[in-house]
Structure 1
Amino acid sequence: MANQENNWWRMTAGHGGSLAIDWLEQDIVTVGWARSIGDFQDQSAEEIVEKSKDAGAGRQVARFLGKTKRGDGMREGDTVIVYAPNPKGLVVGVGEVSEPEYVKHPNLPFDDHRYHRNVRWYDWGTPVSKDELPSNCPQVYTPATLASFGGSREDLKAAVNRAPEIPTEEIESTISLGSSEDDMHVWAMRNLQKIDSDLTVTEHESPIPVGDIDILAEDSDGWVVVELKKGEAGDNAVGQIKGYMNDLKRETQEEVRGILIAEDFSTRVKRAVADDNVDLYRLKLNPSLEVT
C-alpha cells in the first residue's frame, strides 16, 4: 500500500459513476477534456493549466496529470478512492496509481477520456454501498471529478472492510437505477450503442455557441446530437435540438443528425420531427429503451 507520505485522492468514475465498470475491469482511472487540451506529454504545466481553465475543467486535469504550477498534483504511488455517486452511491475501489498516460483510442464509452493512470486495487472488499458505511466515515461525499482526501485513512479502511461487498456483476444494475435526469444521462452514455452500434460518445455536455449539447456522439456518417428530457418532451425540446444541430453543422460543415430521448413525446413533437433528421426514443425509468 502507498506510504503515508503519498497523497490520497477522491475521484468520481465519470459523470454519475458511469465509468465505474470500465475502470474496475481495465484497472484504470481517467479524466476527460482531451479534445480541448490534447496530448499532455509535450506541454508545460502552465499550458495545461490554462487550457484546462478554458475548457471549463478548472484544475482537475492538471492535478490528475501532476502538472500544476504549485506541484500539488497526483503522483505515481498516490492512492485514489473511486466513487460512483448516482443514484445510490458506491465506493467502487481504492488503489495505488501509476504515472499518467495519453491513450489516443481509449476502450471507453467517452472518446475524450484519454488521460489514464493504471491502478493496483487494494484488497479492501470493494465495491461497497455508501449506505452501508457509518455516518462518521471520513469524507465519503463525492467530488465533481477529483479532490484531495483529508480524512483518516485507517478509519476509511476499517469502515469499507466492514461493509458487505457488492459483486462486480451487480454494479451496472445498481448504477442504472434511478429516475432523475442525471440518471438518464448516465444510462444513455453507457447504452447509446443499443440504439446504434456505430455510435461513439465524444463528449458529455459539449459546449457550442448556442448552448451545451447533452451528449455529442459520432457515427460513420458524421456528428450526432443527443438530447435528454425527463418527462414529456414538448416544442421547446424540438427547437433546442434543431438549434444545436444547425449550429454544429455550420461550425463543422459536416453531416449532423439528432436523437431526442425522453419519457414521452407530445403529438406535436412527433409531427414536428417527422421530416427532419431527428429520431425519437422513449426511455422508461427505471430505464428501458424502445423506438417510437
Structure 2
Amino acid sequence: MTLEAPYATLSPDVVLSAVEAAGPWTDGRLLTLNSYENRVFQIGLEDGGFMVAKFYRPGRWSDEAIEEEHTFARELADAELPMVAPLAFDGRTLLRHAGFRYALYPRRGGRAPSLESPDQLTWLGRLLARMHAVGARGRFAARGVLDRSTMVTTPVRAALASTLLPVHLHDAYRRAAERVSHAIDARVDAIGPVARIRLHGDCHPGNVLWTDDGPHFVDLDDARTGPAVQDLWMLAGDERAMDALLEGYGQFRDFDPAELALIPALRAMRQVHYAGWIAERWHDPAFPAAFPFAAEGRWWEQHIADLHDLADELG
C-alpha cells in the first residue's frame, strides 16, 4: 500500500478477513459500493444478513478526526435521528487490519428521495433542523472547517500541480480561480458573521436513502464545521424546494435567512473543490476510470468558463 496506489493491497480476501477479525462471520459475498474517496463494500454474513465495511483512504483523516465522525454519528443516532452509525466492537468503532483503518456499519437500504415532492422536502427539513440542533451542542476539534482555504486555495493548488490541467491553460485557470476566490470573500464579508455548527457537510441526495418508513442519512465522511445552509442547498434545486425545506426546518429550529445569500459562494467553492479533488486523486486508478473527461483539455476549458460565470453570479 502506498499513497500513490492506496488500495492496491485491499483484495477481497483482505476485506473479508478484516470483517471476521472484528467478530462477524462472512459467507464470502462481497459487493463493491459506489465510493471513490474511500472503499466501501457490502458484505454477506453467515447468518444471512449483511453489513457494510468502509475502508478509509490512507493519509486523509487523522484517527482523531475519524473518531469524531463516529462520535457525531452516534450522538445523532442516540437523539433518535435516522443516522446510520458505525458498530462498536470491544468498545471501538475505528478498527485496523492489514495496514488499513476501517469501520463496520449495519446495512440500510433505500432509494433516492424525490426532490420534487414538497412532503419529502419538508420531512427532510425537519430532520436537518434536529440534526443541526444536535450539531450546535458541541464542537469538532480535529475535523475540517468549510472555508475558502479548504475548498478553494488547496484544490486550486492541486489542479495547478497536476498534469491534467494543460500547461497552456494554467494562466487562464489561475485568473478564473482568483476571480472566484475574491468574489467569495466579498460575498462572505457582505453577509457578515453567521453561526457555524457541526454539519453533515455533504448532504446531497446520494447520502439520503428513502424507505417506506421515511429517510435516513449516511456517510459523515465530510462532516465539518460550517453554516447550516450547507446541508440544505444541495437538496434544493430551486426556490420552491428551498421553501419546502425551510418550512420543515422552522418547525424545530430557527434559520437565519441571511445564510441564503451564501449559497452562490458555497456552490462556487464546491465546483472549485471538485476539479482539485479529481486532480489530487488522479494517481488512484479508480479516478481515471470514473472521471475520464478530466484528462481532456476541453473539460478544463469549460471549467474555466464555469468559474467565470460563478464569479459573475457572485458579483
TM-score, length-normalised on structure 1?
0.31
If asked which structure has higher relative contact order (CA below 8 Å, sep 6+), I would say 2
TM-score, length-normalised on structure 2?
0.29
**Structure number with higher helix proportion:** 2
**Structure number with higher strand proportion:** 1
